[in-house]
Amino acid sequence: MTGTEAATAAPLTVPQLLDGFATLGDHPLFVTPTGRLTFAAADDRSALLARRLLAAGVGKNTRVAILLGNSPDWVVTFLALARIGAHAVLCNPFAKGPELAHVLRHADVAAVVTGAEAGDGVQGLLEAAVPALVGHGTGAALRTPTHPYLRTVWWIGVDRPGWADDPDGLDPVAADLLHAVEGEVAAADAVATAYTSGTTAEPKAVVHCQGAFLRQARKLAVRRGFTATDVVYTPMPLFWIGGVCIALLSCAATGIPMVTDARFDAGRALDLMESEGVTAVYCFPQAAESMAAHPSFADRDLHRLRIGPALIRGPEFAGVAVDMREQSLGMTETCGPHTMAFDADARLPEHLRGSFAFPMDGMEHRIVDRDSGAVLTGEGEIGELWIRGDCLMLGFHKRERSETFEPDGWYRTGDLCSFREGRLFFHGRGGDMIKTAGFNVAPAEVERVIGALDDVIYVTVLGLPDPVRDQVIGTVVAVRPGSTLDADALRAVCGDHLSSYKVPSVWCVVDEAGYPMGDTGKVDRTRALALLEAART
């Protein structure tokens, strides 16, 4: 069976996917150091929660935020929402108050599902994001101009704040009503919104449908060669497309366990990989580096591992650079990878070194000259990558289709690419986006935080090449005479307003005369990059 045939035969909605869970019974679906969720339990628990949510008025297209860490509660909540056609808004429990406040308002969230599994600071995080929660009582609908659609916060587990409602207190509707609702869920229905930084100051809200998620999940399983005996470990958070689609749903579609943790710790990760007999690992290079450098690594029994980063695969992979094997290229807008190899271990000939493999089934690629708009068909010609296909997003929330897609459905990625021998090669990003450790960071978002300080005259944020993280964030800041602002103070301010991955790691603080301003009044990027390279050496 080809990859396309396998994907076509697969379930295209979460209710269809759940139909197969009963036959898997007590086989584990989701494993963490503190909890296990079997396929049968995932079906039963999500059905009960779905019936309770239906009783509370949640239904087709109701936008419900999931604010939880990697946990069985996250999985149950997502499946419950998806099986009734509700729309999950994937939220980062490690965000800062202003970031979460923006997401909850921009996404038109009607309800939040959170709880103890989100971490100790989640109560304070929600109160910072939605101040009206302070003093609000349970049982009454919230009404606040800061978040005009938000009506309730449901809290799963212990230590429930006084303003949160208990989903277990909802009287569930009958099972036959849930069954009828599931019958109306279609592959075209929106299933989730995931936020990813764009080239403007505000993150982009990427909306995907059920069919795209399920097609991609199955296609990835086929490309990886998953079998019923595989066990997958990943530290990727479930609020990322990488966590929910690439890992969780791909495992669920194959009937195999996903192993993870609420936070990455190299020692705990190795414990899990060893105890659960992990066969496949999906992580970013810095996580693999941390595991390989752990004092206990040499004594670990990882003999079952057959898929994963070279650093943790054994001596036969030592000295093999990343670009000597096929890589994959992807983005939130395409449910993760839109190119991927069938054999990720195959050594590339020197003239194809750096390849990002072949397009996934169902995805079309086009290389376009950014100035003329002409389609480039020559071998090795570099232009902007355009994409369309069956795993492309529905669009960006609150943006018209004409703002996002070309009239014939192509999406302009902003990536500079070329094709050689049918393989895609990536040459950089046409925009200013910074890609650091797998995260997309918009420079304007960081600049806005720093630029709001009274003593700051100018600020520019740039990406610097990094062998482990792809890029690190560098910042040149011009401050007023007599200012006490230094790199430590600026870093602390960023830490109070931005997620940790958005906080710059390389700083250059100068006076106005030392700022790399060009003759046209725009920053001289070449000089700015030189200042930052000097600062990090």
The per-residue pLDDT for 431 is 67
Runs of H (alpha helix) within 385-451: 401-404, 443-451
> Which pLDDT belongs to residue 466?
86
The predicted pLDDT at position 200 comes to 43
Q: What was the pLDDT predicted at 2?
A: 46
Are residue 187 and residue 69 in the same domain, yes or no? yes
**35 and 180 within one domain:** yes
Query: How does pLDDT run across 25-82, given as a tens digit for each residue?
Result: 999 999 999 999 999 999 999 999 999 999 999 999 999 999 999 999 999 999 999 9
Q: What is the pLDDT of residue 134?
A: 96
Write the CATH number for 365: 2.30.38.10
Strands 111-115 and 204-209: unpaired
CA distance 19 to 344: 32
Q: Is residue 147 part of a domain?
A: yes
Residue 179: its H or E element: helix 175-182
- Note whether 420 and 443 are same-domain residues: no
Residues 456 and 422 in one domain: no
E strand segments, 63-215:
63-66, 87-90, 111-115, 152-156, 190-196, 204-209
Q: Is 155 found in the same domain as 94?
A: yes
CA gap 155, 167 in Å, rounded: 7
Is residue 45 located within the same domain as residue 117? yes
Q: How far is CA 319 from the centre of its chain?
A: 30
Residue 416 is predicted with a pLDDT of 84
Distance CA(363)–CA(235), nearest Å, equals 27
Q: Which of 72, 65, 75, 73 is nearest to 95 (CA)?
A: 65
- Give per-residue pLDDT as tens, 344-354: 888 899 999 88
Q: Are residues 420 and 442 in the same domain?
A: no
Domain boundary among the residues 224, 241, 258 is at 224
pLDDT of residue 5: 39
Tell me, yes or no, whether 48 and 176 share the same domain: yes
- Sign, Cα dihedral of 166, 170, 172, 178: negative
> Is 163 in the same domain as 202?
yes
- Indicate whether 385 belongs to any domain: yes
Indicate if 74 and 157 belong to the same structural domain. yes
Residue numbers of the chain with a pLDDT score lower than 50: 1-8, 198-201
**Do residues 78 and 170 both lie within one domain?**
yes
Residue 486 and residue 16: Cα distance in Å, rounded? 56
* 432/525 Cα distance (integer angstroms): 11
Looking at the fold, whether 37 and 109 belong to one and the same domain comes out as yes
Domain CATH for 70: 3.40.50.980
Q: Is residue 232 part of a domain?
A: no
**What pTM, to 2 d.p., does this model score?**
0.86
pLDDT for res 324: 84
Domain assignment of residue 131, yes or no: yes
- Listed residues 189, 224, 259: the one ending a domain: 224
- Residue range of the domain that includes 173: 13-224
The CATH number for 496's domain is 3.30.300.30
Boundary of a domain, candidates 393, 408, 427: 427
How many Å apart are CA 78 and CA 68, to the nearest integer? 10
Query: Is position 291 within any domain?
Result: no
Q: Is residue 234 part of a domain?
A: no
Q: What is the pLDDT of residue 197?
A: 66
On whether residue 98 sits in a domain, the answer given is yes
* Tally of structural domains, the chain: 3
| Mutual angle of helices 122-129 and 97-106, in 10-degree steps | 60
Sheet harboring 190-196: ordered strands across? 152-156, 111-115, 63-66, 87-90, 190-196, 204-209, 395-396
In a domain, 408, yes or no: yes
Are residues 196 and 397 in contact, defined by beta-carbon separation less than 8 angstroms? no
CA 435 – CA 465 distance, rounded (Å):
10
